[in-house]
A and B are shown apart, each in its own frame.
Chain A
């Protein structure tokens, strides 16, 4: 698909063709290294990431359509960084509505506003709003450009048999069923995960006693590209309202309805239209694009790895929508999993590395659930006392700065710092690092200049490798020697590690054989990494820090790499 043709694609109505695979006629089930179930944002991200790293992937989907309705619309900076690495971030940003600011209103007054990206020097904004069908469409087009990634639509897993060496699947198609085998199965098959059910597993947690109406409205409006949240506004008394701008002149409005609302009646246009009209004021014209009434739960599976089956995204965990932590955390699951699966498949890491997927992403899910539950308890107070504190907070927020910090209309998705990950090499206290880039933290971005010109640090790193990042004072000879010493650890290490040399601003980046040289054009990289000349960072393929030292030592590096690949 060319990009000009793609611009005209109606992703909401796109029908993906079922085609018969020769494997349906094979005498014995074909064996694949990885089968992913579910071609949503999470399954597609995992599939592209693996395929890009050279792993052949088979992606199965029981349907032949993309997302129906706009659904997940807020995609966070970390997600965009990941999609940049996967080669489709720019399309998302070009189409999406960029926003960084949120405003909170109580009754008629603004009480609090926040800027999610208060500093310059990031490739990507804090968020874009983009209908899920666009996100899936752009991912899909990237996926089908990869020769080692195959998607089979209308292929539904109807039975599976997990074993110690792999998983056997029975797949139903419009032309009957067939057998498949895979070394690893990734279940990205959504909140109602049929794979989870088939394995007799559960996702558990709590539901909230509230109902919300989502209305996607097409209209001309002059609200800014910001997230606006009202508590108890005059146009929807005693309840909350959330407004987001989407591409194509569409606005997402969430109306809180309360537990007693009748979900069937509330989705009827004659009920929805007056609610929207009340927000917009009389005389404004609009069209309803999509309407849905929902309740929500925070829940997760006890473990995300069950032998050869790995759960990712909504199948593994669920959150309330306030905070945009659903799809964003699912995309991070996919990224966390992809490089680990690849190393295990290639024999470069033990299977135990996949336990760190479980450990890290369960930790992240708990963080997301905690944040999402806190927001929901503020928006939907569960007791009279809770409501009194909520109202008191909002009333105080007008005059008292401290209370504004307590107002919680959603704490928006941030990538987790895997502080306790088994893959981290603990810091040496004497190194005296400060700042947020501790082992486990997501790597920070900054503007850089390479031999190819101006760009961004994270996108310069490429895909699939660990990054050995050395900061130099400009005397590149010493640094180059150190970096050239890196691959001395043997073939496996050479395959896994990409050396990167950072030179200070003013020292033009030049070609060094086998080393990526980047000029820290604004000094932001050194500042964000609290780096001095000689500082060395080890970044994982998913761009999380796993070790850092004030001086480079090949033995320490080898140990840290062994630990980060599950050998410790």
Chain B
């Protein structure tokens, strides 16, 4: 079960560190660092159900404004 109650002892410290993590990075570098961070935390959590809940919550309310280029194949 995903914990969405406060769980971080010093939230402002954490938030500052999270932003500082991206200092002087280009958007592309930031994207890479974020991706690594997600992978590291996901592995730490491990629990597939919790990870799926977190993914669903992260995506919740985001109306897709882009489109993955999918090529239909018919033979």
Point out the residue from B39, B71, B72 that lies within 8 Å of A396, measured CB to CB: B39
| B22 is an interface residue with CB less than 8 A from chain A | no
* Given pairs A299-B75, A385-B31, A396-B39, 4 additional interface contacts (CB within 8 A): A192-B75, A207-B72, A392-B32, A392-B36
> Are A392 and B73 closer than 8 Å at their CB atoms?
no
Q: Across the interface, do A209 and B69 meet the contact criterion of CB distance under 8 Å?
A: yes
CB-contact partner of A395 in B34, B36, B68, under 8 A: B36
A406 close to B35 (CB less than 8 A)? no
Q: Is the CB of A392 within 8 A of B39?
A: yes
Chain B, range 21-44, C-beta contacts under 8 Å to A: 31-32, 34-36, 38-40, 43
Q: Please tell me which stretch of A198-206, A433-441, A532-540, A552-560 contacts chain B, meaning at least 4 of its Cβ atoms lie within 8 angstroms of it.
A: A198-206
Q: Is the CB of B73 within 8 A of A206?
A: yes
Beyond A396-B39, A400-B40, A403-B39, is A388–B71 a contact (Cβ under 8 Å)? no
- Residues on A with C-beta less than 8 A from B74 are 202-204, 299
Closest-CB distance, A412 to chain B (whole angstroms): 23
Does chain B have a CB within 8 A of A389? Answer: yes
Q: Mark A375-411, 1 if CB is under 8 A from B, else 0.
A: 0000000111100110111011000101100100000
A391: chain B residues at CB < 8 Å are 32, 35
B68 A382 Cβ-Cβ under 8 A: yes
- Flag whether B65 is at the interface (Cβ < 8 A): no
B70 located at the interface, meaning its Cβ lies under 8 Å from any Cβ of chain A in the complex? yes
Q: Enumerate A22-46 residues with CB–CB distance to B below 8 Å.
A: none
A330 at the interface (CB under 8 A from B): no
| Residues 352-375 of chain A, each 1 if its beta carbon lies under 8 Å from chain B, else 0 | 000000000000000000000000
* Contact assessment for A203 and B31 in the assembled complex, using a CB-CB cutoff below 8 Å: no
Q: Quick one: closest A residue to B73, CB to CB?
A: A297
Number of CB contacts from chain A to chain B under 8 A: 66
Pairs across A and B, CB under 8 Å, 29 listed: A202-B75, A204-B72, A204-B75, A205-B72, A206-B70, A207-B72, A208-B71, A209-B69, A297-B75, A299-B73, A299-B74, A318-B73, A382-B68, A382-B70, A384-B31, A385-B31, A385-B35, A388-B34, A389-B39, A391-B35, A392-B39, A393-B39, A395-B32, A395-B36, A396-B36, A400-B40, A400-B43, A402-B43, A403-B39
Q: Does A348 contact B (CB under 8 A)?
A: no
Residues in B6-63 with C-beta less than 8 Å from chain A: 31-32, 34-36, 38-40, 43
CB-nearest residue of chain A to B42: A402
Q: How far is the CA of A385 from the CA of B73 in the complex (A)?
A: 24
Cα distance, A297 to B32, chains bound together (Å): 29
The answer to whether A318 touches B71, judged by C-beta atoms less than 8 angstroms apart, is: no
* Cβ distance A398 to chain B, nearest Cβ, rounded Å: 12
Query: Which A278-304 residues sit within 8 Å CB-CB of chain B?
Result: 297-299
B68 and A383 contact, CB distance less than 8 A: yes
**Chain A contacts for B39, CB-based, 8 A:** 389, 392-393, 396, 403, 406
Chain B residues whose C-beta falls within 8 Å of the C-beta of A382 in the assembled complex: 68-70
CB <8 Å contact, B36 and A204: no
- If A396-B36, A402-B43 touch, whether A388 touches B73 (CB-CB below 8 Å) is no
A402 CA to B38 CA, complexed, in Å: 13
- Using Cβ atoms and an 8 Å threshold, which residues of chain B touch A123? none
Residue of B nearest to A259 (CB): B69
Q: Give chain A residues whose Cβ lies under 8 Å from the Cβ of B36.
A: 392, 395-396
Instruction: For the complex, count residues of A whose C-beta is within 8 A of B.
Output: 31
Q: Is the interface of A mostly helix, strand, loop or mixed?
A: mixed
User: A191's contact among B34, B38, B71, B75, by CB below 8 Å, is which?
Assistant: B75
Closest B residue by C-beta to A391: B32
Residue contact B75 to A388, C-beta cutoff 8 Å: no
Nearest to A197 among chain B residues (CB) is B75
Q: Return chain A residues, CB-CB under 8 Å to B73.
A: 204-207, 297-299, 318
Chain B: CB-nearest residue to A406: B39
Please, which residue of chain A has its CB at the minimum distance from the CB of B29?
Answer: A388
Contacts known (A384-B31, A385-B31, A391-B35); A203 close to B75, Cβ less than 8 A: yes
**Complex Cα gap A206–B68 (Å):** 12
Q: With A and B bound together, what is the CA distance between A393 and B42 in angstroms? A: 12
Query: Which of B31, B70, B75 contacts A318 (CB under 8 A)?
Result: B75
Q: What are the interface flags for A290-323 relative to B under an 8 Å C-beta threshold, 1 for contact and 0 otherwise?
A: 0000000111000000000000000000100000
Complex Cα distance A205/B73, Å?
5
| Chain A residue nearest to B37 in the complex (CB) | A392
Given A396-B40, A400-B40, are A206 and B35 also a contact pair (CB < 8 Å)? no
Tell me, rounded to whole Å, the shortest Cβ–Cβ distance linking B25 to chain A: 12
Knowing A389-B39, A400-B40, say if A206 contacts B71 (CB, 8 Å): yes
Residues in chain B near residue A406, CB distance under 8 A: 39
Among all A-B residue pairs, the 4 with the closest Cβ atoms = A392-B35, A297-B73, A207-B71, A388-B35
Q: Looking across the interface, which residue of chain A has its beta carbon closest to that of B31? A: A388
Given known pairs A393-B39, A396-B39, A402-B43, the reply for A206 and B72 (CB within 8 Å) is: yes
Bound state CA distance, A351 and B32, in angstroms? 56
The CA of A193 and the CA of B71, in the complex, are separated in Å by 21
Assembly CA distance A205 to B71 (angstroms): 9
CA of A169 to CA of B23, assembled, Å: 71
Query: In the complex, what residues of A have CB within 8 A of residue B75's CB?
Result: 191-193, 196, 202-204, 297, 299, 318
CB distance from B31 to the nearest CB of A (A): 4
Distance in Å: Cβ of B21 to nearest Cβ of chain A: 14
Residues of B within 8 A of A193 (CB): 75
Shortest Cβ distance from residue B72 to the other chain A in the assembled complex, whole angstroms? 6
For the complex, give the distance between the alpha carbons of A403 and B70 in Å.
27
Q: When chains A and B are docked, how far (Å) is the Cα of A208 from the Cα of B69?
A: 9
Chain A CB within 10 A, most for which of B69, B71, B73, B75: B75
**Chain A residues near B68 (CB, 8 Å)?**
382-383
